[in-house]
Structure 1
Amino acid sequence: MTDATTPISKGRILVVDDQRNMRATTALLLKGFGYTVSEAGTGEEALAVLAKGQVDLLLTDLKMEPMDGLTLLKRGLEVSPRLQAILMTAFGSIENAVEAMRLGACDYITKPFKDSELRYRVERALEHSKLQMAVSNFATEFYQNHNLSALVGRSQAMRDLTTRLMRVAQSDATVLIQGESGTGKELVARALHTHSRRNGRPFVPVNCAAISETLLESELFGHAKGAFTGAVKTRRGLFEEADGGTLFIDEVTETSPTFQSKLLRTLQDGEVRRVGESTAMRVDARIAAATNRDIELEVREKRFRQDLYYRLNVVMLRVPPLRERLEDVPALAEHFLQRSNARSPRPRRLSATAVEHLMTYNFPGNVRELENLVEQAAALAEADELLPEDFPLRPQSRVLPAAASGLPPTDARAGSPESSGPTLAEVVEEAERRAIVQSLERHGVDLARVADELGVSSTTLWRKMKRLNLRPPVGAPRE
């Protein structure tokens, strides 16, 4: 609780007024309230102060020359988008207030004003600023865990996945997520939920492979008291828990035909009947299902119901295995290492040779295997810099097949038992070439956007294009 002698809120305020006496009086008053105050007599002086990033609240007069308060507000928000602003005016009118609010001001005050009114409006503006910051920090943390930022990668395969995900997220369409174990199917499901209109409601995951068939029905649909031995009280199922939100059914192909039939009925009717009860209840949960198997093969082999497959496969999202996007390995490895460093008293760093070493590997365990390798290396390495020897790789997966890189084998390599695939340099070069060409196709002559998308400077982009013998599009600016 705030002590009565302590100001309710403190902050850094910039007072702007071309009338020196008014400016000085207002600044003195605010200092008496416990704020840090700076002054400016013109709009240009104010912008110079704002550019230093040391202002929480802009308190500016409306009628000034040559730059008026509305113009200063507009330009000030360009410099500092989160800036709170209050306009002072002796010409108070609805029109001025509406225009100020439209441009981004949080309040306005009419001169002459009482000391108590100024204090109240300033405190309210700064409290609003603190609230915005808290919400922003919370949102950043949440999005880092569950949003597209968790889907690390600049490869074309990942861009295709995220583009398709964003298109379907705003609908209520059922989504089937297919991918090998360890590719991050649950992360995709969480990102889908986060970007949907249901993101204020629960995201409820269930792994069908981790629950016995006898318990799975009760887990999903709930049960009545006395429905079976051990059912000592009525229990809500996960369908009910996910009402209004998203239910993620992982490894759905691990279920039995009997359970699949009950799941199909629930999806068709939108109703859940608890085990041991005769009445059904309506539920509104979006379904995202996932499998690491070839579900079409499961259907052909009669191990998975065809009608349930069609019910689930309204939109398919395929999560690519890591071997199909090896260009993402450096970013993923750095991402996992930074996360490990945040929990460790001894931060580590990746060496370039370690990254090259990792990119020679096929990662049969996909992204989860890479994460485990990085965490193991960070825990056991003797030096602060992680070296290739800190990443023990399975020998049978060390050589990258030519098909995985898209490079045809050459005659020179074909005759060598030691070179059944492309070299590391060729893998990296082909990945760079493919990424640059695809980005050029999207952005044409705008090489600045190409460089930004690829995460390199314009100079580096030019150097790589020359090395790879890639000609810039006609009309593109020269280096």
Structure 2
Amino acid sequence: MFVKAAPAQTVSSRSQALLQVAEAIAHHRDLADLFHDLAARLHDVAHFDYLNLVLHDPERQVMRLHLLETLREKPTHLRVGLELPIGSTPSGRVLESQDPFVVSDVETEPSFPVLMEALRQEGVHSFCVVPLTSAQRRLGTLGFGKLEPYHYDGSEVDFMQQVARQVAVAVDNALNFETARAYQQQLARERDRLRVLLEVNNALVSTLDLRQLFHAIASSLRRVLHHEYTSLALLDPKTNRLRVRALDFSGGQGLIHEEMSVPLDKSPAGHAFATRLPQRYARTDLEKFDSDITRRLIAEGVRVECCVPLITRERVLGTLNVASFRDSAFPQEDQDLLTQVGAQVAIAVENALAFQEIAELKNKLTEEKLYLEDEIRTEHNFEEIVGESSVLKAVLSQLQTVAPTDSTVLITGETGTGKELIARALHNLSGRRDRTFVKINCAAIPTGLLESELFGHEKGAFTGA
């Protein structure tokens, strides 16, 4: 407990107190620590049992209780953060008039009856409110209160105003610092979000594989969005249902897996797909969807899910889904980022699906080409040979069998039966097809030279050398 201060204060003691206030301001950047220190330093030279700081919110036009220091053991019912309209409080009047407002006894004060009743219930019987104004702006008020009736004379009010002028500088600096820090944090968040969009764009142009693309996007989102679950669901035209094509849920129990089928009419993702708008679903919203995947998400502990439709110029491809175990996940700024990411993902998915379709068509064309080439070989490899008889087809079948080998083939037949055509077809089907086909008229070769002409001879064989 603090010892009650003497009613009379000398000018020198108050001057000394002002120096101590300046010293406290120099040592404390945090306003809560500053007020705690001021309450201890000023109690010996000013009459009060509590000290409060009320700041003006110009956007909402309210007076907000920012800090409250009490020197009594009984806890107060007044809570930091309490907001009241400007016209309903003494602080609002002081802010507008810039004149102190002094009440010696709340029992006899006719103005602000609601507030006076609240103060009586708190045990406050007298108070003084002085303006808190810096050179740049009106900040709010500084209030001193006592638990018994007390008359604040002119000298005490002047002293409190001097204290308030010094405190105003500290409050203004602290608010400016908080504003600058808030801007810095906002710029850092915007930088991180722009970096995510850049990374998504880089992933879009660097890979056409849908799975690799998804994991690159999920990794980028984890750095700026607090979430535990990410999935990519695409429409299956055959079943008219969404199918989980990619999943990132390392902290899950395994209830959700890839290739799960998701109905369009009974699921959060299906609802976002149908409305073509980003949707945020709280736990109570999720419980309204009667689908297997929704029940599994709830069983996994998901509290909030955000589903973003992947929309291209022509159609809706599917949804990008993120979920969290926290009820406060995905505020509006996170939803805006997911919408931007979803627009890029839609382009990437469309490109990946087009690439996949082209690859499938290419493979199909390759298979058809091989089939047609085989058919052509079967039907037209003997384009110089015309015939449908079973005997001729048997010969051609034997020809196809022996052509790939290096075996020597003897073709016999009467003159004009097509022995040369068979030999040419044999050459065209063999591994030597790219080389020259050499034909020799054996009838024009003398019998003694036939063997050497066909199979060669050693040097000097005919001269005896």
**Higher RCO structure (Cα 8 Å, ≥6 apart):** 1
TM tier, smaller:
under 0.3
TM-score by length of 1: 0.21
Bigger Rg, which one:
2
Greater share of strand: 2
